[in-house]
Amino acid sequence: MPEGHEHDLNALAKATVILVNLRPEEIKPGTNRNWTHNGIVAYSKICTHVGCPAALYEQNTHHILCPCHQSTFDATDGARVVFGPAARPLPQLPIGVDAEGYLIAMGDFPVPVGPSYWERGDAEAGAHGGGS
């Protein structure tokens, strides 16, 4: 959870992250390599379709699956959508290590976390059924 935000429910809702440890040669161009550490990549677990927890990980294919509507994301390629109704990838979190060797976030998510209609205005919400 974000340091200093332990009681901020909005911050905690957006803080759900999945860490995946990949071999460096498996990381494809869609992943920002500058935001990884020794093959470890971090993505938001909040599905970009309707916000369910996309936390099921299939090690053989490196796919992250959302159990609600089966949106599937490729962890090796910037969590791009490979199947299902999600319209955009899971946001990648820039990570690094601190002086003691602990993984830390190096910043916030560069794009909004969660469903495409959150924080994006009414035009896109209408295109996605208003979140229903």
| Active-site residue list | 49, 69
- Asked if 96 and 102 count as a contact pair (C-beta separation under 8 A), the reply is no
- Which tokens sit at 61? 């294919």
Phi-psi region of 121 (alpha: psi -120 to 50; beta: other; left: phi over 0): left
Q: Which residue has the tokens 């993505």?
A: 43
Q: Is 27 helix (H, G, I), strand (E, B) or coil?
A: coil
